[in-house]
Amino acid sequence: MCEAGLLKPPLPGVTYLTTRLGVALKNSDRYRVLALDPTLNIVDQASLDRANALLVAARLDPAKARPTCDATQNGLNHAAYNPTFSYTSLEEALQLVTRDCWLGKADFTAYFNSFSFAWEALMVFSFIFVGLRYVMSRVFFGFAPAPYYTSGFGAELRWAMYALGVPCVHIVDDFLTVASTEEGAGANLDILQKVSGSWGLLWNDRKRFVGQRMVFMGVLIDTVHMIVRFEAAQCQGFKVELERALAELLAGKQATKVFVHHMCGKLVWYSCVVQSGRLHTRSWFQYLSDLGNLSEQWTRILVADIHWWLQLVDGWCNNRLTGIEYPIWSGADLHAM
């Protein structure tokens, strides 16, 4: 990481704020902290291989390790400017879809690490490992405002693409574009990569795809049959999160605001596929609003809503609901009616 410019040595005479270093595993679209301790052992490849064997056995995606920091424990996240914002909705993505169109998808490599901290702010981003202090020069996972700033930067790139005639949507570092031909979708990705590369951003070539049937943020989009449905592997990860939420709720444990906010966003996203799911999301937003003080009545409603989602998601995970698909209505289809 030092060679990549992510870490720098401390300057003499400067007082630094210390954050705890951690390691997180990512599988699917959810990060899970493995360890958060000043003396932790970084996950080696053998340990990661053993963990991946267990994940694959549980029908989950393999994971990769990422460094993270605890900017909440030292008060940094509380003091940081962290405004509320909204991610792109599934409706925005589906508005681009027309029958038989081609989809192009790509995402950035180490997107958070592409953003440097201002020199004046470096004294609040450091950690101690094996007795040595390291200064984080770029955004790490664990800094609460990072999704707001990086998503805002992605929005600027998105509108730059529209100015160049490239229709697209994005969620943080994931971009989706459309075209009438396979070559056109590939050309759109080429333009996106060229412009973002001139801004200093790098793409993950292994996650560049073009096709007419593609998973975007956990939802399978099929432009030939004009349908969307849940993707089984992504649903498995969501099921694990729902089970965790239910277990903590029944045990009287308090979930973190970050986790509840994440679940609210994901439920809204999935409710774009299953319209009836909207009836079972309000209790989550009440939970977010009354965090730590949820009434018994709302707790019962929340438990019932989690069971409803678990039953639905379990059906997708075990291929019992493969016949249930949801139509995409494009402007052209509605005109034809």
Average pLDDT, the chain: 81
pLDDT at 40 over 80: no
pLDDT at 99: 92
Rounded mean pLDDT, 102-125:
89
Number of domains forming the structure of the chain: 1
The pLDDT, as a whole number, for residue 175 is 94
**Eight-state DSSP code of residue 2:** T
Could you tell me if residue 295 is inside a domain? yes
Stretch 58-69: mean pLDDT, rounded?
A: 71
pLDDT at 11 over 80: yes
pLDDT in tens, 239-286: 888 998 899 888 888 887 778 887 888 888 788 778 788 889 999 999
In a domain, 309, yes or no: yes
Average pLDDT over residues 114-128: 87
Which residues pair with residue 107 across a beta bridge?
A: 174
pLDDT for 200-216, tens place per residue? 888 888 889 999 999 88
Q: What is the pTM of this model?
A: 0.75
pLDDT tens-digit series, residues 14-28: 899 988 877 666 654
Mean pLDDT for 282-296 is: 87
Q: Are 301 and 312 within 8 A, CB to CB?
A: no
Residue 24 · residue 33 · CB < 8 Å: yes
Give residue 208's pLDDT. Answer: 93
3 pLDDT above the threshold of 50: no
The reply to whether 238 falls in a domain is yes
**Which pLDDT band, with edges at 50, 70 and 90, does 32 fall under?**
low
Q: Write out the residue range of the structural domain in which residue 301 sits.
A: 230-317
pLDDT for res 31: 47
Is 4's pLDDT higher than 90? no
Burial of 58 (0-12, 13-18, 19+ CB in 10 A): exposed
Q: Label residue 274 exposed, middle or buried (CB < 10 Å: 0-12, 13-18, 19+).
A: middle
Q: pLDDT at residue 60 above 90? A: no
Spatial separation of the C-alpha atoms in residues 169 and 154, rounded to whole Å: 9
Sign of the C-alpha dihedral computed for residues 260, 112, 54 and 216 taken in this order = positive
CA angle 331, 332, 337 (to 5 degrees): 100
What pLDDT was estimated at residue 38? 45
Position 115 pLDDT exceeds 80? yes
- 332 pLDDT band, cuts 50/70/90, is very low
Instruction: With respect to residue 252, please indicate whether it lies within any of the assigned structural domains.
Output: yes
Confidence category of residue 68, pLDDT binned at 50, 70, 90: confident
